[in-house]
Structure 1
């Protein structure tokens, strides 16, 4: 399986390189170069499959069964912790409880009067049962002033992504979701996957709506690559139920659109 994935990845890399090198080699040379590389990768994969004997296949089967059993145990543990459904935290002290219990947590800070929050709710209700490995939850920003201040929640909605008790991502408004209200669930899923708080098997280099026209530059392209961390390092202490520090992974760099949305350009 990994060999096939490597083959597909190699194909896309070679195709991308070819699209960038139109001035360095003619089309026939590019096609020949890519074809040879693909053939080599395919031959290597076939050779690995041909060399498998009965014992190898049995070992692979047992290993797969072991992985499925371990996954099933994890799923049961996740369900006990509230994964698989999208519910609101009743109070801000629960924030520290869930980030201690769950490895991956995605929290939607909302207000009742903000229509965009209902859009996030709609998407999270679809994503929560799909990504049972992650806890999806929400907090009313007006009822958690302490957290709102410490996490610098200035725009609603704001989505905080936490991995192993560390804040690894912060989605402010919809600016990195195409700056539009009708973005798809798949687009939000892709965006959340940038810092591995959910398991994602798709292409992380391009948003879903751009993967069809992979070689064309989109006029509404979302920032590429892994999204960086969040606000300045934080130490949150003194809140009931908190047993330790909560720190962000690294500083968060706002895009020009986010700076405008926050009113920092005035």
Structure 2
């Protein structure tokens, strides 16, 4: 028996074993379900109801803080006032004369109501020179991703989104999920577009941006100074 045939047999055995284990797990779960009495079912229903109520209350709290929309902050002071108490935020630094900023606007306006756990805002870079200097905002458009009051990462231009203007909203959603700026429900291990850069390249590119252009990354944004 040649080596290739032996490897094929071993692979078939492994697949068969995996299938048997999966079947056994399904049988176990089915047995548990069949053994549930009325009290167990009512308990599960109540837990599900409580979870739904908590999720609804959390959503209402987010909406009360301004989440769910994509708004423009008129000044640097508003940035500190509005974002200070947000656990997560996506801040679009734009310039009115930069057409590519409108592309980000389109996608962020779609994502904001979908991810109320995150505050989505935009700032005119020409009106906030101090903030741009402090955060090393050198390229427009730039998305500043804030998690727990810290600058988690930046998305500078479109290089991390496939390097073209026609990236999808799903692609940007995935990129925000990589940084944990939103609760991403898809497969975080792969970007949704086949023609996009591999995830490793995207993340490496972002690390270079952080290390070379952003000395204040991971500093507290809302300190006492």
The TM-score, its normalising length taken from structure 2, stands at: 0.82
Counterpart-to-counterpart distance in 2, 1:23 and 1:243: 65
Report the counterpart of residue 108 of structure 1 in structure 2: 92
Counterpart-to-counterpart distance in 2, 1:101 and 1:95: 11
Higher relative contact order, structure no. (Cα contacts within 8 Å, ≥ 6 residues apart): 2
> CA 1:43/1:81 → structure 2, altered by over 3 Å: closer, same or farther?
same
**1:127-162 alpha-carbon deviations (Å, 9 max, x no partner):** 011111111001111211111111111111111111
Q: Counterpart of 2:199 in 1: which secondary structure?
A: coil
Worse overlay, 86-95 or 221-230: 221-230
> Which of 221, 228, 253 matches 2:198?
221
Counterpart-to-counterpart distance in 1, 2:202 and 2:47: 33
Report the counterpart of residue 244 of structure 1 in structure 2: 224
Correspondences of 1:78-97 after superposition (within 5 Å): 78-97=62-81
Correspondences of 1:176-195 after superposition (within 5 Å): 176-195=160-179
Deviation at 1:24, TM superposition (A): 9.1
Deviation at 1:55, TM superposition (A): 2.1
**1:39-96 alpha-carbon deviations (Å, 9 max, x no partner):** 2443343344334332222122112211222222222221121111101110012111
Report the counterpart of residue 256 of structure 1 in structure 2: none
Q: Is there any run of 5+ residues in structure 1 with no aligned partner, and where?
A: 1-21, 211-217, 246-266
Report the counterpart of residue 125 of structure 1 in structure 2: 109
Query: Would you say the 8 A contact 1:186–1:208 is kept in 2?
Result: yes
Report the counterpart of residue 260 of structure 1 in structure 2: none
Deviation at 1:236, TM superposition (A): 7.2
Query: Would you say the 8 A contact 2:149–2:220 is kept in 1?
Result: no
Report the counterpart of residue 141 of structure 1 in structure 2: 125
Q: Counterpart of 1:82 in 2: which secondary structure?
A: coil
Counterpart-to-counterpart distance in 2, 1:209 and 1:23: 37
Query: Would you say the 8 A contact 1:75–1:132 is kept in 2?
Result: yes
Counterpart-to-counterpart distance in 2, 1:179 and 1:125: 21
Counterpart-to-counterpart distance in 2, 1:236 and 1:166: 5
Correspondences of 1:207-218 after superposition (within 5 Å): 207-210=191-194
> CA 1:175/1:45 → structure 2, altered by over 3 Å: closer, same or farther?
farther
Report the counterpart of residue 232 of structure 1 in structure 2: 215
2:11 aligned with 1:25, yes or no? Answer: no
- Aligned length, in residue pairs: 213
Query: Would you say the 8 A contact 2:161–2:196 is kept in 1?
Result: no
Q: Counterpart of 1:49 in 2: which secondary structure?
A: helix
**1:87-136 alpha-carbon deviations (Å, 9 max, x no partner):** 11100121112222221111011111211111000001100111111110
Query: Would you say the 8 A contact 1:177–1:222 is kept in 2?
Result: no
Counterpart-to-counterpart distance in 2, 1:225 and 1:144: 28
Query: Would you say the 8 A contact 1:109–1:156 is kept in 2?
Result: yes
Query: Would you say the 8 A contact 1:204–1:225 is kept in 2?
Result: no
